[in-house]
Amino acid sequence: MKNKEFKVGLFVAASIVLLYFGFNFLKGIDFFSSTNKYYVIYDNVDQLAVSNPVLINGFAVGRVNHIRIMQNKDNKVLVELLIDSDILLGDSTQAILNSDFLGGKSILLSIGNITKPLNANDTLIAVVAKGILDLLSETANPVADNVQTTLRKFNVILDNLTKNSQQLDSIFKKLQATPDLLNRTLITANGKVDELSVTVKQVADNLNGSLAELKPTIANFKVLSDSLKRLELNKTVKTATATLNKLNATLDKVGNGNSTMSKLMTEDSLYVNLNKLLLSLDTLAQHFDDNPNHFMAPLGKSKKKIDRDRRKEEEKKARAAQENK
């Protein structure tokens, strides 16, 4: 009975020891390698937890061993790191607090140039990596600025489009009235064209008739020209020469003064007689105008009566002249 209890106790103790070592092994604690402690001071660890890994180029070289608040130093956070003793760190080494896409936390070591090696329990340079939200915000700020600028330009374009749309509306309204005007114009033009075509046709018909009537005349002119070509020009010239000779002979006779024509041209007796005749006719016309009764009576008047009437008229004129004086 005692042997069974001893065995059970031994088994439980071994199980507890294996559980302890297995749990720590799963937490990253290697009991078979030596480690050095280093410290890092952060303003905010952003939910960093104990046992989170310490990495160099993605390879785990340690873990977070302890985290505590330093209230005497503005509530900063002191993080204790256990790092393999084989890893040599210098005064330029940075402990970068990093988070992955799923929110897991880790500390990345950037060794840098080692000018002065660090000893155990020294403090590393604390650096907080930018998270996804920070990167997105940094990336989004220029994009937001560009979007705002684009929106402003788009608003200006919309304003211009509104103005242009109003102008286009007025243009379209005018264009709507244009087809009606064009149709009326075309209808009027078609009527004019029809009238013009009828007029042109009439003119063409008249021209054709006129040309038909002119054809005989043109033929006659052609015959006349042919006849003129066939005239004996020499005989015509001879006849004209004979006529001129006869005319010269006649002019010579007139110039000699032997004919009646030459006397009429050289003597003035005919001219003097014509002037007397014209004076007598003028006196007769004046007397007829002044005393038409002398000529218009049924049997006319005698010469004595005419002389008496003349004396009476002269006496009247003399008395009128004396009265005027």
What backbone torsions phi and psi does residue 210 show, to the nearest 5 degrees? -65, -40
DSSP state of 95: E
Higher-pLDDT residue of 240, 120: 120
Q: How far apart are CA 4 and CA 12, in angstroms?
A: 12
The residue type found at 225 is: S
For residue 76, name the pLDDT band (cuts at 50, 70, 90). very high
Can you tell me the mean pLDDT for 5-26?
Answer: 68
Residue 148: strand, helix, or coil? helix
For residue 201, name the pLDDT band (cuts at 50, 70, 90). confident
Q: Give residues with Cβ within 8 angstroms of 107, minimum separation 6.
A: 40, 48, 52, 53, 54, 55, 64, 79, 81, 95, 96, 97, 98
Highest mean pLDDT among 81-90, 173-182, 247-256: 81-90
What backbone torsions phi and psi does residue 295 show, to the nearest 5 degrees? -115, -25
Higher-pLDDT residue of 79, 319: 79
Torsion of CA 26, 29, 31, 37, to 10 degrees: 180
Element (H, E) at 169: helix 132-230
Q: Which of 21, 302, 66, 285 is nearest to 310 (CA)?
A: 302
Structure tokens at 91: 């005064």
